[in-house]
Amino acid sequence: MTKCNILCVQYNPILGDKAGNLEKVEEIINQYSENNLDLVVLPEFFSTGICDKSFINEPEDENGGDTIKTVQRIAKRYNTNIVAGTVITLVDGKRYNTSFAINRKGETIAKYNKIHLYNFAGGNEDKYITTGNEIVVADFDFAKVGMSVCFDIKFPMHYRKLIQKGAEIIASPSGWCTLSAFSEKIKSDFVKTWQGMNMCRATETLTYFITADLVGLANKELYCVGNSMICDPLGAVVAGADTYETGVYGEIDLNVVRDFKKLYPVSEME
Residue 152's pLDDT band (boundaries 50, 70, 90)?
very high
| Torsion angle of the four alpha carbons 214, 187, 149, 52, in this order, in degrees rounded to the nearest 10 | -60
Q: Which pLDDT tens digit goes with each residue over 22-72?
A: 999 999 999 999 999 999 999 999 999 998 888 888 999 999 999 999 999
> How much is the mean pLDDT over the chain?
94
Please list the helix, strand and coil fractions of the chain in percent, rounded to the nearest 5, in that order. Answer: 35, 30, 35
Burial of 44 (0-12, 13-18, 19+ CB in 10 A): buried
Tell me what the mean pLDDT of segment 123-138 comes to: 90
**How far apart are the C-alpha atoms of 164 and 80, rounded to whole Å?**
26
**Residue 270 pLDDT more than 80?**
no
Using DSSP, state whether 71 is helix, strand or coil: helix
Pick the CATH number of 3-264 from 3.40.50.1970, 3.30.420.40, 3.60.110.10, 3.50.50.60: 3.60.110.10
The pTM for the full model equals 0.96
Predicted local distance difference test score (pLDDT) of residue 122: 64
Amino acid found at 130? T
Element (H, E) at 157: helix 156-164
Identify the DSSP state of 60.
B
**Residue 269 pLDDT more than 80?**
no
